[in-house]
Amino acid sequence: METHIIIIGSGLGGLTCGYIMAKNGYKVTVLEKNVQLGGCLQTFARRGVKFETGVHYIGSMEKGQLLHHFFKYLNLLPDVKLRQLNCEAYDLISIGGERFPFANGIENFTEKLAQYFPAEKDNLRRYWQAIREVVESSPLHSLRTTGEPVILNPNHVKQSYDHFLESVTGDEQLRLVLAGNLPLYAGERGKTPMYISAFINDFYNRSACRIVGGGETVAFSLVKSIRAMGGNVLPSAEVVKINCNDKQAVSVSLKNGETIDGDYFISNMHPARMVEIVESNILRKSYRDRIVHLNNTVSNFTVYIAFKKDSVPYFNSNFYHYDTPADVWRGKNYEQASYPCSFLYMHLCSSENQQFADAAVLISYMNFEDVSQWAGTKVGRRGADYENFKKETAEKLLDLLEKQIPDTQQNIEYYYTSSPLTYLDYTGTERGSMYGVLPDCNESIHSLVSQRTRIPNLFQTGQNVNSHGILGVIIGSIITCGELLGVNNIVEQIKNTD
Residue 413: what are its φ and ψ, rounded to 5°?
-80, -50
Report how far residue 42's alpha carbon sits from residue 151's, in angstroms, rounded to the nearest whole number. Answer: 30
CA distance 144 to 128: 21
Collapsing DSSP to helix, strand or coil, 185 comes out as: coil
User: By the 8 A CB rule, do 94 and 176 touch?
Assistant: no
Please say which residue, 95 or 239, places its beta carbon nearer to ligand FAD.
Answer: 239
Position 55 contacts ligand FAD (CB under 6 A) = yes
Residue 162, φ and ψ in degrees, nearest 5: -65, -35
Q: Which H helix or E strand runs over 267?
A: strand 264-267
Using alpha carbons, list the distances in angstroms from residue 162 to 117, 170, 287, 335. 19, 12, 30, 22
Binding flag, residue 213, ligand FAD (CB under 6 A): no
| Least distance between ligand FAD and beta carbon 210 (Å) | 9
**Should residue 74 be labelled a site residue for ligand FAD when binding is judged by CB under 6 A?**
no
| Residue from 5, 6, 10, 275 in contact with ligand FAD (CB under 6 A) | 10
Helix 469-485 with 194-206: angle, nearest 10 deg = 110
Which of the ranges 88-96, 289-297, 349-357, 424-432 carries the binding residues for ligand FAD, by CB under 6 A?
424-432
Is residue 418 at the binding interface for ligand FAD, with CB under 6 A as the rule?
Answer: no
Q: Of 6, 28, 31, 349, which lies in the binding site for ligand FAD, with binding defined by CB under 6 A?
A: 31
| Binding status of residue 211 toward ligand FAD by CB under 6 A | no
Q: Is 216 in the site for ligand FAD (CB under 6 A)?
A: no
The least CB distance from residue 54 to ligand FAD, in Å, is 3
Q: Burial letters for 143-177: b for 16+ Cβ neighbours within 10 Å, e otherwise?
A: eeeeeeeebbeeebbebbbbebbeebbeeebbbbb
Query: How many other β-carbons are positioned within 10 Å of the β-carbon of residue 352?
Result: 12
Judged by CB, which is closer to ligand FAD: 269, or 371?
Answer: 269
Applying CB under 6 A, does 80 fall inside the site for ligand FAD? no
Residue type, 347: H
Select from 379, 422, 424 the least CA-distant residue to 272: 424
Residue nearest to ligand FAD (CB): 11
Which listed residue (193, 262, 428, 482) binds ligand FAD by CB under 6 A? 428
Contact status, residue 249 vs residue 261, Cβ threshold 8 Å: no
Strand partners, 27: 4
CB of 145 to ligand FAD, least distance (A): 25
**Hey, which bits of 113-173 come out as E strands?**
none
| Under rule CB under 6 A, residue 9 binds ligand FAD | yes
Using rule CB under 6 A, residue 12 touches ligand FAD? yes
Site string for ligand FAD, 292-311 (x = CB under 6 A): --------x-----------
Instruction: State the CB neighbour count (10 A cutoff) for residue 142.
Output: 13
Using rule CB under 6 A, residue 331 touches ligand FAD:
no
**Residues 6 or more apart in contact with residue 346 via CB below 8 angstroms:** 56, 57, 210, 318, 319, 360, 361, 363
Per-residue binder mask for ligand FAD (CB under 6 A), 473-492, x = binder: x-------------------
Q: Which region, judged by CB under 6 A, interacts with ligand FAD, from 17-25, 31-39, 110-118, 322-330?
A: 31-39
Q: Does 34 contact ligand FAD by CB under 6 A?
A: yes
If binding means CB under 6 A, how many residues of this protein chain bind ligand FAD? 37
Distance CA 39, CA 268 (A): 10
Closest CA to 133 of 107, 155, 100, 162: 155
Q: Which is nearer to ligand FAD, 226 or 269 (CB)?
A: 269
Q: Which stretch binds ligand FAD (CB under 6 A): 138-146, 242-250, 282-290, 463-471?
A: 463-471
Contact 211, 346 (CB under 8 A): no
Candidates 269, 328, 349, 438; binder of ligand FAD (CB under 6 A) is: 269
Nearer residue to ligand FAD within complex by CB, 123 or 203: 203
Judged by CB under 6 A, does residue 239 bind ligand FAD? Answer: yes
Q: Say how far apart CA 74 and CA 77 lie, in whole Å.
A: 8
Using CB under 6 A as the binding rule, the residues of this chain from 360 to 399 that contact ligand FAD are 363
> Is residue 432 close enough to count as binding ligand FAD by CB under 6 A?
no
Stretch that binds ligand FAD, among 25-33, 286-294, 388-396, 408-416 (CB under 6 A): 25-33
Contact with ligand FAD (CB under 6 A): which of 17, 22, 41, 490? 41
Contacts to ligand FAD by CB under 6 A: 8-14, 31-34, 39-41, 54-58, 238-239, 268-269, 273, 300, 363, 427-429, 434-435, 462-463, 468-470, 473
